[in-house]
Structure 1
Amino acid sequence: MYFQSLTAAQSYTGARPATQADPDHQGVAQGLRSSFQDFAATLKHSEQVAQSSMVGQADPHALVQALAQTELAVETAVIVRNKVVEAYQEILRMPV
């Protein structure tokens, strides 16, 4: 399971150059904001392709590609969420 998650995260990072770190970025907040916007754009694009496919206006190959990108994006978001929760729980376990 861990290997599949790692592969999904690496594939998504390679497929989406907009999520790569920019050397002249404003900070962590700006990077997170752009990642969230990129995630939302990926989901919106996939939804549009799926709707177009339902009425016969989109190529089935484009639909499969959009769904694969969405799957990678969601898996990456879940991995990040799990890491944040794990870090939070680790902080709670620290002695004061």
Structure 2
Amino acid sequence: MALHQIAFILAGLTAGGGITGYVRAGSIPSIAAGCSVGLLYALGGYRIQNRQPYGIELALLASVVLAGSSIPRAIKTQKPLPAGLGVLALFGLYNFGMAFANK
């Protein structure tokens, strides 16, 4: 799977997680954070697809932000949604981190 496709998938899943947090708990910060991180992934994927600079860096930044917010929450609450977002963050960190290192 191409790197830009991974970014687009993570964008949708991250935004979906934020929307789910809003639907379940009425949390406006969840929808704002999910859509913001999803936008970073989508912008990174777009830039990667069009061979523009800073695409990998944007996707890597989105993964760092997602990991920083979801992994501690997953450990604290033991709930499936933050745990799933943490797994997505680790997946993104690995893929975009390797792409950045090999750049």
TM-score (norm 2): 0.47
CA-to-aligned-CA distance 1:30-89 (integer Å, 9 cap, x gap): x32454233212211122111111211652333222211211111111121xxxxxxxxx
Greater relative CO (CA pairs within 8 A, separation 6+):
1
Greater helix share, structure number: 2
Residues 61 and 54 (structure 1), Cα distance of their counterparts in 2 relative to 1, 3 Å cut: same
- Contact residue 49 and residue 58 of structure 1 kept, 8 A: no
In the other structure, the counterpart of 1:25 is none
In the other structure, the counterpart of 1:43 is 64
Report runs of 4+ in structure 1 exceeding 3 Å deviation.
Answer: none
Which is higher, the Rg of structure 1 or of structure 2? 1
The answer for unaligned runs of 5 or more in structure 2 is 9-41
What RMSD over aligned residues (CA atoms) do the two structures have, in Å?
2.5
TM-score (norm 1): 0.50
Identity of aligned residues (%): 9
In the TM superposition, 1:8-87 aligns within 5 A as 10=2, 12-17=3-8, 18=42, 19-20=45-46, 21-22=49-50, 31-56=52-77, 58-59=79-80, 60-80=83-103
